[in-house]
Amino acid sequence: MRKSSYRSEEVNALDKLDCRGLSCPLPVMHTRKRLEKLVAGESLEVIVDTGTSRDNVSRLARKEGCEVTVRETEEGNYILTITRKA
């Protein structure tokens, strides 16, 4: 997985969701709430910091019919870019 740096101030935008440090099931719950407002073609970035959250959020997004790409940051976090399919 290609690594890149991630600036923490980027998580405050409306289309980004910071779920770092949250334990089960909060990352999935928060993502699900945001996905309800996502329309076709729009993207949501979710940042998590554990493999469990990465896999659970990915599974939720795919179940909701979205595309998911994952990249790992230098700090060991995962950024999931979730796009609602047209």
Partner 1 sequence: MKRLHEFLKSRWGIVSAGLLIGILASTLQKLGNPKNMGICVACFERDIAGSLGLHRASAVQYIRPEIIGFAFGALIAALLFREYRARAGSAPIIRFMLGFFAMVGALAFLGCPWRALLRLAGGDGNAIVGLLGLICGVGIGVLFIRSGYNLGRSRHTHPAVGAMLPLLMLGLLLLLIIKPILPSGAPFFSAEGPGSQRANYLAALGIAVVIGFVAQRTRFCTMGAIRDVILMRDFHLGSGVVALLVGAFIMNLVYGQFHWGFAGQPVAHTNQLLNFGGMLLAGLAFALAGGCPGRQLFLSGEGDGDAAVFVLGMIVGAAFAHNFTTAGTPYPNNPPIWGWGTGAVLVGLAFCLALGFLMRRSLEG
Q: Which of residues 50-69 bind partner 1 (CB under 8 A)?
A: 50-52, 55-56, 59
Overall residue count recorded for the chain in this entry: 86
- Told to check if 13 binds partner 1 by CB under 8 A, we report no
Rounded CA separation 75/60 (Å): 24
- Can 24 be counted among the known catalytic residues? yes
Catalytic residue among 8, 15, 24, 59: 24
Contact 35, 66 (CB under 8 A): yes
Secondary structure element (H or E) that encloses residue 73, with its range: strand 66-73
Q: Which is nearer to partner 1, 49 or 80 (CB)?
A: 49
- Told to check if 42 binds partner 1 by CB under 8 A, we report no
Active site residues: 24
